[in-house]
């Protein structure tokens, strides 16, 4: 059977353009023509694949939201149980918020840790990677990927975060499993103040076996959480996790922040 004829039939079927009599003929073709049946089945699988991949994306988002909700809710319940000291609880929350605002907005260079220091550390990390990718050789595919990553990092370091994000999004389509690309997307969302978008990206890589990716993800999680006023508990959870790892690159900073926050 001619390929064009098969495609015309399939288009009409999937575009919902078949008349009743054509639908009977269509069914007949499926039952009698193997080539037709195979093409039909493959396209059906692809359509289901399109729907399923979108749903998978959605499942990741919902699962993340569920965890966030449960974490926050647990804290709320715990706070509400401290009925004996409601004023103290409010005062403590206010102190934490004031300290956080101070830490992130004042940028005092004498502080054990401030947001500027974090951004400077990230910049160093980005520059180191840029150098790594510019000197990397290998297969065509690897060279193309290195070029893309190098360009993405360059754009980011120049403050062109939107352009950098677009480039990393493209790279992510071709290399969805690449953890470094996910980390970069999270960084660009952070720079663009899309803090809520940072979490689903980091959820995919925060348990990475790659130390660079994992440690940067953990700190970025804390940083992004601090930017959202309802995520203070999440931020503290991550800082505690970092502070408990003596060899973590941000251990000093995490301890400093925690001591300021009380």
Q: What residue ranges bind another protein (CB under 8 A)?
A: 7, 11, 15, 23, 26-27, 30, 40-59, 61-63, 65-66, 68-69, 72, 173-174, 176, 196-197, 199-200
| Distance of alpha carbon 219 from alpha carbon 107, whole angstroms | 17
Q: Which is nearer to another protein, 36 or 113 (CB)?
A: 36
Q: Which is nearer to another protein, 40 or 250 (CB)?
A: 40
What would the two tokens of residue 19 be?
Answer: 């008349």
In the complex, the smallest distance separating the C-beta of residue 71 from another protein, rounded to whole angstroms, is 12
| Distance of alpha carbon 37 from alpha carbon 17, whole angstroms | 19
What would the two tokens of residue 204 be?
Answer: 């995919």
Q: Residue 166: which of 179, 177, 151 has the closest Cα?
A: 151
In the complex, the smallest distance separating the C-beta of residue 174 from another protein, rounded to whole angstroms, is 6
Count of beta carbons in the 10 Å neighbourhood of residue 215: 20
Q: Which is nearer to another protein, 167 or 243 (CB)?
A: 167
Q: Which is nearer to another protein, 62 or 131 (CB)?
A: 62
Q: According to DSSP H, which parts of the chain are helical?
A: 3-14, 20-32, 34-81, 86-106, 115-134, 140-157, 161-174, 179-191, 195-203, 211-227, 232-243, 251-261
Count of beta carbons in the 10 Å neighbourhood of residue 226: 23
In the complex, the smallest distance separating the C-beta of residue 85 from another protein, rounded to whole angstroms, is 26
* 261-118-196 Cα angle (round to 5): 75
CB 68 within 8 Å of CB 62: no
Q: Which is nearer to another protein, 13 or 102 (CB)?
A: 13
In the complex, the smallest distance separating the C-beta of residue 120 from another protein, rounded to whole angstroms, is 28
Q: Which is nearer to another protein, 46 or 98 (CB)?
A: 46
In the complex, the smallest distance separating the C-beta of residue 190 from another protein, rounded to whole angstroms, is 13
Q: What are phi and psi of 249, to 5 degrees?
A: -60, -25
CB 184 within 8 Å of CB 153: yes
In the complex, the smallest distance separating the C-beta of residue 63 from another protein, rounded to whole angstroms, is 6
Q: Which is nearer to another protein, 50 or 88 (CB)?
A: 50
In the complex, the smallest distance separating the C-beta of residue 66 from another protein, rounded to whole angstroms, is 6
């Amino acid at each position: 059977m001619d390929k064009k004829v098969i495609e015309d039939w399939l288009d009409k079927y999937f575009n919902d353009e078949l008349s009743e009599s054509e639908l009977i003929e269509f069914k007949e073709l499926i039952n009698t023509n193997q080539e037709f049946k195979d093409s039909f089945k493959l396209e059906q699988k692809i359509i289901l694949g399109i729907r399923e991949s979108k749903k998978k994306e959605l499942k990741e988002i919902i699962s993340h939201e569920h965890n966030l909700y449960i974490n926050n809710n647990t804290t709320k319940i715990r706070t509400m149980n401290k009925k004996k000291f409601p004023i103290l609880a409010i005062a403590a929350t206010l102190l934490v918020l004031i300290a956080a605002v101070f830490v992130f907005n004042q940028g005092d260079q004498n502080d054990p840790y401030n947001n500027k220091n974090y951004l400077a550390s990230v910049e160093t990390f980005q520059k180191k990677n840029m150098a790594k990718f510019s000197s990397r050789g290998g297969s065509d595919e690897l060279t193309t990927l290195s070029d893309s990553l190098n360009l993405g990092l360059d754009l980011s370091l120049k403050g062109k975060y939107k352009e950098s994000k677009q480039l990393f999004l493209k790279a992510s389509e071709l290399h969805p499993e690449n953890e470094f690309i996910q980390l970069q997307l999270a960084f660009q969302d952070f720079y663009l103040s899309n803090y809520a978008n940072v979490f689903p990206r980091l959820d995919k890589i925060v348990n990475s076996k790659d130390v660079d990716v994992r440690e940067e993800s953990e700190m970025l999680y804390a940083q992004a959480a601090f930017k959202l006023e309802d995520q203070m508990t999440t931020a503290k959870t991550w800082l505690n996790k970092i502070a408990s790892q003596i060899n973590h690159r941000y251990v000093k900073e995490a301890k400093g922040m925690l001591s300021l926050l009380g």
